[in-house]
Structure 1
Amino acid sequence: MHISRPSIVLLLAVSCLVGLSFPAEAQHLSPAVQQDLRQREDSLKGYSDSIVNAATPEVRFRSDSQFVRSLVRALKQPYSFYYPFDSLQTISHLYAPDSTFRIFTWQFKKDEFLYLQEGAIQMNQPDGSLKLFPLFDASMFTDKPDDSVRTRKNWIGAIYYRIIEKTWEGRNYYTLLGFDDYSETSNKKWMEVLTFNPAGEPQFGGPYFSFAGDSVHKKMQYRFNIEYKKEAATRFNYDPEMDMVVYDHLVPEGDQPQKKDTYVPDGDFEAFQWKDGHWLHIEKKLFTFKLKDGEAPTEGKILDDQGNIDETKLQESSDKNAKKKKNDKPAPAKKPGS
C-alpha cells in the first residue's frame, strides 16, 4: 500500500483548502495560546513528515507515537479548536460545515505492504475544553465493510478530503469522502456517513446508499467505495452546483473483471444524490454530466461512441501507466524532525 509523497501532499492540501472555513470565533484564542500552539505546530510538522518519509519502520512508529502525544497536548490548550494547523501538510484536518467538529486523519506506513489509517474527531466545546474521539482502523479485520454500522473503535479508515453536511427530519448527516492506500496495486476511495448518537458518540455508516433506481437490483449499502488501478487518476468528489457526489465509471483493462487493480475510468460518470435521508445512486446511462472545457478530452475515453471497449485506448493507457510507474522515483526520505 503505497502513495507517493507528492500525491499525498496534493491530496491533503486540497482537503485542507476545502476545510479552511474554520469558525470565526478564532478570537477566543489568546495571543499567549496562539504563540504556544505555533511552537507546538513546529514540532508536530517534523513528526508528521517523518511518519511518511522516515526510512525505517522503527522511526516511523516512534514519530507517529510522538505526533499523537504532541497533538493531544496541543489540543488541550483553551479553544484550540480554532487553531487551523495549516503547516501540517501530511495530515488531513477538516472542519464540518456547521463548525460542530473537525476531523484529523492520516496514515502510518507499517511496511511496504500495509498502511494503517489513524484519526481523531475534535468537538467544538463552548467552554474551549477538549473533547476528543480517537479513531481506530479495523478495516484489516473485516471482509464485509459495506454492511455494518461502526463506532470509533472499529472504524473503516480513510484519509478524508471532503465533508458534506445534509439534514433529514431534523437530524444532521455528515458525508465523508476519503482516500485509502489499499494495496500495492490498487487504491480505494470511500463515501462514509457520519452521525452522532444520543450520547454524542460518533457513529459511522448505516442504510444510506440506495440503488433502488438501478436496472440491476442491489441491496442497500452502509458505506460505498470504488477500487481502481494504483496509477489511475479518478474523480470522486462533491459537485456543489449539481448537489451530487460524482465519480468515474470504471472498467477493467483486461478480461478479468474480478481484478479490481485493473479498473480505470472509461470517460463516463456515475453519481449519488441526497434524497429523503439517503444517497440515491444514479447509473451512468441516467447521468448526463457535461464536462467543462479541458477537464477530459473525448479522445481519452476507453469506450467508443457505441459503448464498446476500445482495446487500442486500453493498451495506450496501460503502456502510459507502466511507463509512468517506471519513471517515478520516490522522494528521498527526510530525517525525523527535519
Structure 2
Amino acid sequence: MIKKLFLLFIALLGLREGYAQFSQKDITTLNMYRDSLKHLGAEIVNNPGEPERKNANYVFIKTLVSALKTPNSYLYKFDSVKTISVLNSPDNRFRIFSWHIAHDDGSYRFYGAIQMNTGGPLKLYPLEDYSPLMAHPEDTVTSNAKWYGAQYYTIIPVQGADPHYVLLGWKGYTDRSTKKVIDVLTFRNDKPVLGMPIFASKEKKRNRVVFQYTRQASMLLRYVPGENLIVFDNLAAPDKKSKDKPETYGPDLSYNGYKLKNGRWELIEDLDMRNVPNESDASYIDPKPTEMPRLEVKPVPRKTVQ
C-alpha cells in the first residue's frame, strides 16, 4: 500500500511539473545534470580567474548536451539554473538556451543552442558566437555557425507570408559600452537562419537591429503584444563632440518603436508612451532582473549566485 501511494505521489508530481512522460530514472538523471549545471554556472559567474571560468563553461557545455540526450529532455525546464536563459517559443516548436562569459578586459563571449521539439531523438543546433568577425551585423544574414551572440529574454512569433521569430536580447560588449539586439530567427530546409530584411526605416532595411550605449546607462527594449509593437529608448550622444562615439550614448527620454505591419516591422519615431500599455510580463526582463532598473542587465560578473 505504501509503495502504491509513493508511486501515485511521483506520478502526480510529474504531472504537476509537466514531466508526466519521464520515467523515474530519467527524472533522477536530469535532476543530477541540473545540479551539476547549477554548480558550473555559479563557477562561470563567480570564479575570479578567467581560465577557471572558461574551463567551467567547457564542462557546462558538455554537461548540458549530455542532459539533453536524455529521453524527453525537451520537457525538462532547467528553470533553476539561474545563470542561463532558457526560452520556449510560444508555439513550442523549439527552445533557445543562451548565456555569456565575462572576460577580464570587460568584453563578453556568448554561448547558446537551439533545441527542437522533436518528440523523440535530440535535434540540437549549437550557436557559435561570430560577433568579433562580423563587421556589419545589421546587414548580415547568417547560420547558427555564425551567430551574432546575445542572451535572449523574449521570443515573438510572427505568422504570415514570411513566418519568423523575433528575438530580443542583451549583449554585453566592452568595459565602456553595452549592446541590445533585435534579431530574427527562421528555419529553411529545417535549419536555423538568423537575420532577415524586415526592419524598415526611411534610410534602409535591416536584417537585425543593434543598439549600443554607455555601460553606465539603462535601456528599455520590450515587446507590447496587444500593440504588435517593439518599443525602445531613443539613444543620443551627450553632446555634439560625441555624436560619432556610440559608447557614450544614452536614453534621451524619448521613445521609438517597430510596429508590425504586413509581416514587416516599420520604424515609428517619437512614440507617445502614454498610449502604450505598460505590460508587466516576465519575458521583458533581461537575464539578471535584480541588477537592472528599467529592464537592464548590469554586467557585473562577480555577483554571487546561490
> Is TM more than 0.5 here?
yes
Query: Quick one: structure 1 residues 222 and 330, their matched pair in 2 at CA, closer, same or farther if it must change by over 3 Å?
Result: closer
Query: How far apart, CA to CA, are the structure 2 residues paired with 1:232 and 1:208?
Result: 28
1:201 match = 191
Deviation at 1:121, TM superposition (A): 0.3
TM, length-normalised to structure 1: 0.75
Query: Quick one: structure 1 residues 143 and 44, their matched pair in 2 at CA, closer, same or farther if it must change by over 3 Å?
Result: same
Q: Map 1:87-166 to 2 at 5 A.
A: 87-127=80-120, 129-166=121-158
1:254 match = 239
Q: Percent identity of the aligned residues?
A: 35
**1:218 paired to 2:211:** no
Say if 2:109 and 2:129, in contact at 8 Å, map to a contact too.
Answer: yes
**1:188 paired to 2:179:** yes
**1:39 paired to 2:24:** no
Query: Quick one: structure 1 residues 69 and 241, their matched pair in 2 at CA, closer, same or farther if it must change by over 3 Å?
Result: same
Secondary structure of the 2:223 match is strand
2:3 match = none
Say if 2:47 and 2:302, in contact at 8 Å, map to a contact too.
Answer: no
Query: How far apart, CA to CA, are the structure 1 residues paired with 2:304 and 2:96?
Result: 27
Deviation at 1:73, TM superposition (A): 0.5
User: Relative CO higher for 1 or 2, CA cutoff 8 Å, sep ≥ 6?
Assistant: 1
Say if 1:55 and 1:333, in contact at 8 Å, map to a contact too.
Answer: no
1:219-247 superposed Cα distances (whole Å, 9 cap, x missing partner):
11110011111121111010122220000
Instruction: Return the match for 2:273 from 289, 292, 297.
Output: 289
Say if 1:116 and 1:157, in contact at 8 Å, map to a contact too.
Answer: yes
Secondary structure of the 1:258 match is coil
1:118-156 superposed Cα distances (whole Å, 9 cap, x missing partner):
1000000122x2100001011101221111110001110
Deviation at 1:110, TM superposition (A): 3.4
Say if 2:106 and 2:173, in contact at 8 Å, map to a contact too.
Answer: no
Query: How far apart, CA to CA, are the structure 1 residues paired with 2:169 and 2:40?
Result: 22
Poorly superposed stretches of 4+, deviation over 3 Å: 291-295, 328-334
Query: How far apart, CA to CA, are the structure 1 residues paired with 2:92 and 2:130?
Result: 27
**RMSD over aligned Cα, in angstroms?**
2.4
Query: How far apart, CA to CA, are the structure 1 residues paired with 2:84 and 2:251?
Result: 28
2:255 match = 269
How many residue pairs were aligned? 271
2:73 match = 80
Query: How far apart, CA to CA, are the structure 2 residues paired with 1:218 and 1:86?
Result: 41
2:223 match = 238
Say if 2:260 and 2:266, in contact at 8 Å, map to a contact too.
Answer: yes
Say if 2:115 and 2:124, in contact at 8 Å, map to a contact too.
Answer: yes
2:55 match = 62
Secondary structure of the 1:27 match is coil
Q: Which amino acid aligns with 1:240?
A: P
Q: Map 1:2-21 to 2 at 5 A.
A: none
**1:178 paired to 2:178:** no
Say if 1:251 and 1:265, in contact at 8 Å, map to a contact too.
Answer: yes
Q: Which amino acid aligns with 1:223?
A: R
Query: Quick one: structure 1 residues 236 and 72, their matched pair in 2 at CA, closer, same or farther if it must change by over 3 Å?
Result: same
Query: Quick one: structure 1 residues 35 and 237, their matched pair in 2 at CA, closer, same or farther if it must change by over 3 Å?
Result: same
Unaligned runs of 5+ in 2: 1-16, 280-297
Deviation at 1:26, TM superposition (A): 3.8
Query: How far apart, CA to CA, are the structure 2 residues paired with 1:74 and 1:330?
Result: 26
TM, length-normalised to structure 2: 0.83
